[in-house]
Amino acid sequence: MSKNVRCYPIQTYQNEIKNDLILDLYSEYRKYYEYQIHKQYINYQQTGYLNKSIDTKNDNSLLSERYKRNAVYQVCGQLQSWLSNRDNKIKDIVHNNESLKDKEKRILHLIRRNQIQKEQTLTILYSKDNKKKGIKKGDIKEEVFIPKEYIQIYKSILRQIKWRLPTNKRISMQLNVNVCQLIKKQTKYKKLNAHNFDYWFELSTLNKGQKTYIPAKMNSYLKEQVGQGKLLNSVRIDFKGSLISFNLMINKEQKDYESEIDSIGIDFGTKHLFALSTGNIFGVSFGKQLKSYDAKIILLQKRLQHQGIRPSSSKRYRRLVFKCREFIKNEINRNFNKIIKEIKPQEIALERLDFRHSKLNKTMNRILRKCGRSVIKSKLQTLEKDYGIQVIEVNPAYTSQECNNCGFVHKNNRNNRDQFKCQICNYKKHADINASRNIQSRSSCAVLKGKSCKRTIKKHLFDQFKRNILQCDKSITGFVSPNSRAIFLDFKPLTFQDFYGLIKSGNKLKV
Ligand SMILES: [Zn+2]
C-alpha cells in the first residue's frame, strides 16, 4: 500500500447473518495468510525475492483463487516492509561494529545489498554524475572479490538478530476489486437505491458465486476527505473480536517531486535560521528580525510593569506576541519550501530540537522554543507526506564542537560564534555549516542517531577520532601533525581533554 493512501472508517449497516458471513470469511483468510507468509519467506530464502505471482492453485483453502491472490499481495506488502526493517538493522550492526575495519564493513554491506550467497567477484559500476539511471560512458567499473569467510561472518550477524516472522494476528483484510467492489448509489444496481445509503460494498463470500451487499453511510468529515483525494476501489476491513469495521481508502496525492541529493543535514540557529551541510544558509536575516521583536517585547513589558499592568492582560502585548509567533512560523515554512525547491533532498537529518539563545530574553526564548518546535515538527510531517522526504533525528550532543574533518571535539574549536577552527587539523568553516555536516554524517550511525547520554556520545566520538588519526584516514584533508599519531601510540590518551593537554604541552616543549 502506497504511503499516501489513508484509511477512513465508514459506518456500515449489516445484519447478523451478513456479519457471520464476513467472520467466516475472515477466519479462512487468516489461515491462508499465515500459510502464505511461510511460503513467501521460503521462496525469499531460496531466490532472494518475494513472488507476487506465486502459484496458488494447489494451496489447500476454502478461499477462491481471487481471494488467495488478494492474500498473496497483502502478505508480500507486509513481508517487504518487514525485510526492509531487518535490513536497516543489519546495516546498523555492521556499521557500528568497532572490531571491523572500514574495508571489511564495505564487503559486508556488499553482501547484504546484493544478497550474495557464494564466494564470487562482484562488478560495481559508478555512474559519473551520481545519478543511478543506466550505464553511461565514463562510468567507473570496480571489481571486488567477496571471500567465503565474509559470507560466513555475515550469516553469523544474521543469526544474532532473532526476528520473528510477521503473523496473522490482528491483520486486516485489504481487499481489491476482484473480491470487494465499492458501489456508489445511483448506479446500474437499481435495487440498491431503495434505501438512503451512500455506498454498498459488494463482497464475495466463501460460497462460490455468492455475493453479499453491505450498505454504508457517509458523514460530513468523510465527504470532506473524499473531496481532497481520490477514492480508491479497494477496501480495508478491520476486525476486533467480532466487531467488523469497513474502511474507505483515499489516495491523497503526493506532489511531483524528484530529489537531486540523497541526504542533507540542517542546523537550526537563532542567527541564521537554517545552515545546510551543502553549504547553503537560509533565513539569513532571521536573527536580526527576531532581535527586533525581542527588543519590542522587552520595552513593552517594562512599560506595562511600570503602569502596574500584567502583560497577559494587555491586548497590545498579546498582539505583539502573536505577531512574533506568526513571523517565526512564516519564516520556518517559507525557508523549508525554499530548501525543497532549490536543494531537493531525499532525506533530511536534524538535531532533536532544542532552541536556546542566550542573547534573547526569557519570554522570547519561550516563544521560540514552544512555537518553533511545533511548527518545524508539523512542517516536517507534511514534507514527509507530500514529497516522501525522510526525516532523521540525530543526537545533538557536541555537534557544534566537533570538527567535521578530523573528528576532534573541543570547545576551543569555536573561538567565536560564527567561525569554526579545529585545534588539531586547522579545518576552518562557518560554524553552523560545520555543525550541519556533523548532523548529516550522524544520520547513518545508530549510536549518534540514538538517545544516548552525552558521555556515551563523547566516548563514541573520541573512538572515531582515534581511529581517524591512527589510520591516517585519507578522507581527512589538511594537516594533521605526525605528533598526533605519536601521542596516541605513546601516551594512549582516553579523552579529548587528555589528548589536547598532551598536544599543548608538546608544543610548549618545542618552543
Ligand atoms: Zn579537525
Residue in 207, 211, 209 with CA at minimum distance from that of residue 180: 211
Q: Compute the distance from residue 455 Cα to the ligand 1 centre, in Å.
A: 20
At 127 the pLDDT is: 66
Q: Compute the distance from residue 127 Cα to the ligand 1 centre, in Å.
A: 31
Look at 329 and 92; give whichever has higher pLDDT. Answer: 329
Cβ(145)–Cβ(110) below 8 Å: no
Cβ(107)–Cβ(116) below 8 Å: no
First to last CA, the chain: 68
Using one digit for the tens of pLDDT, what is the confidence trace for 20-60? 999 999 999 999 999 999 999 999 988 888 999 999 999 99
Q: Compute the distance from residue 406 Cα to the ligand 1 centre, in Å.
A: 4
Q: Compute the distance from residue 412 Cα to the ligand 1 centre, in Å.
A: 12
CA distances from 122 to 110, 115, 127, 128, 469 (A): 9, 12, 16, 19, 31
At 195 the pLDDT is: 63
Q: Compute the distance from residue 478 Cα to the ligand 1 centre, in Å.
A: 9
Using one digit for the tens of pLDDT, what is the confidence trace for 176-196? 999 999 988 765 555 555 567
Q: Compute the distance from residue 250 Cα to the ligand 1 centre, in Å.
A: 51
Q: Compute the distance from residue 409 Cα to the ligand 1 centre, in Å.
A: 8
Cell numbers for 331, please give them: 519564516
Using one digit for the tens of pLDDT, what is the confidence trace for 236-277? 999 988 899 999 998 877 677 888 998 999 998 888 899 999
Q: Is the pLDDT of residue 115 over 90?
A: no
Q: Compute the distance from residue 463 Cα to the ligand 1 centre, in Å.
A: 14
At 188 the pLDDT is: 56
Using one digit for the tens of pLDDT, what is the confidence trace for 126-148? 766 555 555 566 677 788 899 99
Q: Compute the distance from residue 194 Cα to the ligand 1 centre, in Å.
A: 78
At 373 the pLDDT is: 82
Q: Compute the distance from residue 267 Cα to the ligand 1 centre, in Å.
A: 19
Q: Compute the distance from residue 403 Cα to the ligand 1 centre, in Å.
A: 5
Q: Is the pLDDT of residue 483 over 90?
A: no
Q: What percent of the chain has pLDDT over 90?
A: 48
Q: Compute the distance from residue 509 Cα to the ligand 1 centre, in Å.
A: 22
Q: Compute the distance from residue 92 Cα to the ligand 1 centre, in Å.
A: 25
Look at 167 and 132; give whichever has higher pLDDT. Answer: 167
Q: Is the pLDDT of residue 511 over 50?
A: no
Q: Compute the distance from residue 326 Cα to the ligand 1 centre, in Å.
A: 40
Residue in 360, 368, 341 with CA at minimum distance from that of residue 291: 360
Q: Compute the distance from residue 272 Cα to the ligand 1 centre, in Å.
A: 24
Q: Compute the distance from residue 174 Cα to the ligand 1 centre, in Å.
A: 54
Q: Is the pLDDT of residue 305 over 80?
A: yes
Region 156-163: what's the mean pLDDT? 82
Q: Compute the distance from residue 464 Cα to the ligand 1 centre, in Å.
A: 12
Q: Give the span between the Cα atoms of 295 and 124, in whole angstroms.
A: 59
3-state secondary structure 379-404: HHHHHHHHHCCEEEEECCCCCCCECC
At 357 the pLDDT is: 53
Of 234-238, 347-351, 352-356, where does mean pLDDT reach its minimum? 352-356
Q: What percent of the chain has pLDDT over 70?
A: 90
Q: Compute the distance from residue 431 Cα to the ligand 1 centre, in Å.
A: 13
- At 157, the pLDDT band (50, 70, 90 cuts) reads confident
Region 336-357: what's the mean pLDDT? 85
Q: Compute the distance from residue 424 Cα to the ligand 1 centre, in Å.
A: 5
- At 1, the pLDDT band (50, 70, 90 cuts) reads very low
Q: Compute the distance from residue 106 Cα to the ligand 1 centre, in Å.
A: 25
Q: Compute the distance from residue 407 Cα to the ligand 1 centre, in Å.
A: 6
Q: Compute the distance from residue 249 Cα to the ligand 1 centre, in Å.
A: 53
Region 223-248: what's the mean pLDDT? 89
At 258 the pLDDT is: 87
Q: Which residues of 195-211 are buried (b: 16+ CB within 10 A; e: fewer)?
A: eebbbbbbbbbbeeeee
Q: Compute the distance from residue 191 Cα to the ligand 1 centre, in Å.
A: 78
Q: Compute the distance from residue 443 Cα to the ligand 1 centre, in Å.
A: 20
- At 214, the pLDDT band (50, 70, 90 cuts) reads very high
Q: Give the span between the Cα atoms of 336 and 283, in whole angstroms.
A: 10
At 510 the pLDDT is: 44
Phi, psi torsion values for 494, nearest 5 degrees: -110, -10
Q: Compute the distance from residue 45 Cα to the ligand 1 centre, in Å.
A: 45
What does pTM read for this prediction? Answer: 0.53
- At 438, the pLDDT band (50, 70, 90 cuts) reads very high
Q: Compute the distance from residue 427 Cα to the ligand 1 centre, in Å.
A: 5
Look up residue 220 and give its amino acid.
S
Strands 230-240 and 180-184: unpaired
Q: Compute the distance from residue 260 Cα to the ligand 1 centre, in Å.
A: 29
Cell numbers for 99, please give them: 572490531
CA distances from 373 to 264, 355, 443 (A): 19, 8, 20
Q: Compute the distance from residue 465 Cα to the ligand 1 centre, in Å.
A: 9
How many other C-beta atoms can be found within 10 angstroms of the C-beta atom of residue 311? 17
**Mean pLDDT across the chain:** 86
Q: Compute the distance from residue 154 Cα to the ligand 1 centre, in Å.
A: 34
Residue in 332, 331, 376 with CA at minimum distance from that of residue 353: 376
Q: Compute the distance from residue 426 Cα to the ligand 1 centre, in Å.
A: 6
Q: Compute the distance from residue 483 Cα to the ligand 1 centre, in Å.
A: 14
